A and B are shown apart, each in its own frame.
Chain A
């Protein structure tokens, strides 16, 4: 158990800034275990950057690093991201 863990909600503002759409209700599929979850249900860890993990298998789904006027977003652990448009 990690006292610093947050939920997908904690990065909702940041994600909406990038994607211009409400992202906590987007549905993500983990490429490791196949579990589907709303982004709001993902486990979020903040350090030098942000890591979002699968609540089912702990796989690192997305990483976000901010630096000045740029942002690096990695989707290494995501199979699909289903967004309402």
Chain B
């Protein structure tokens, strides 16, 4: 599929909520059924559009967190206090509700199993969503590609997909957490923002030429991308997805 153009204008479709799951106190995953959905690639996103009664529209992009699975997709949404769209998605939507979305969108920030590894995935908070789609796809196809996920969260309670990641670990997948605000008592893992030293320890190093995917708030991605290049990773091997000052 890589390098193949996907022809066709995007059109808005109606998606129906089938499930809402609380991931952390501030993050929920919403599962949608989209009639006629032709599937997606790991790392792609959708645009979500909400229309108010007076016709006002607000639109946001959300990464698809699920691996390709028929006509269903999952979006993992962090609730932003002053957000226009995210509080509606996390607090108001119930199974049976409908919203408008279009997609799948993007081909740059995408991983396909035949590309193999090694993979270095670096996530800041809800930036883990498109990387989780890659990890889930990797597991679904039985790939043993060397994959490291370096995942930065505020606290242990804020770690999205924590139990699923614990289950999936092994068989070539290693998950390393860093907790930047309040690590639990007795925490022996990293407890600071991602820096060059952590990236060098988690590896794989530049000589192994890993494909690197970094997703999170803009300043997080900026810091990580600069540290990776400083360590010797080639810029074109480092793909980034920044989602602004506060996130999704």
Contact = CB atoms under 8 A, between A and B. Distances in A.
Contacts of A3: 217-219, 244-245
A13 B61 contact: yes
Contacts of A69: none
B241 A7 contact: yes
A6 B5 contact: no
Given A13-B10, A22-B5, A6 B45 contact: no
A24 B108 contact: yes
Contact of A84 (B5, B10, B108, B240): B5
Contact of A25 (B108, B243, B245): B108
Contacts of A48: none
Contacts of B241: 7, 9
17 contacts: A1-B222, A2-B218, A3-B245, A4-B245, A6-B243, A7-B241, A9-B241, A13-B105, A16-B9, A17-B10, A20-B8, A22-B106, A24-B106, A39-B108, A40-B108, A40-B239, A84-B3
Contacts of A12: 45, 61, 105-106, 108
Given A6-B244, A17-B10, A24-B107, 18 more contacts: A1-B222, A3-B244, A4-B245, A7-B241, A9-B45, A9-B109, A12-B106, A13-B47, A13-B102, A21-B7, A22-B5, A22-B6, A22-B106, A22-B107, A24-B109, A40-B239, A41-B239, A83-B5
Contacts of A38: 108
A46 B137 CA distance: 32
A33 to B, nearest CB: 14
Contacts of A6: 218, 242-244
B240 to A, nearest CB: 6
A45 B244 CA distance: 10
Interface of A: 1-10, 12-13, 16-17, 20-22, 24-25, 38-41, 83-85
Contacts, number: 83
B240 A7 contact: yes
- Which has the most chain B C-beta neighbours within 10 Å: A1, A4, A9? A9
Contact of B109 (A1, A20, A21, A40): A40
Interface string B104-136: 011111000000000000000000000000000
B103 interface: yes
B188 interface: no
A24 B44 CA distance: 11
B4 interface: yes
B242 A5 contact: yes
B218 A4 contact: yes
A4 to B, nearest CB: 6
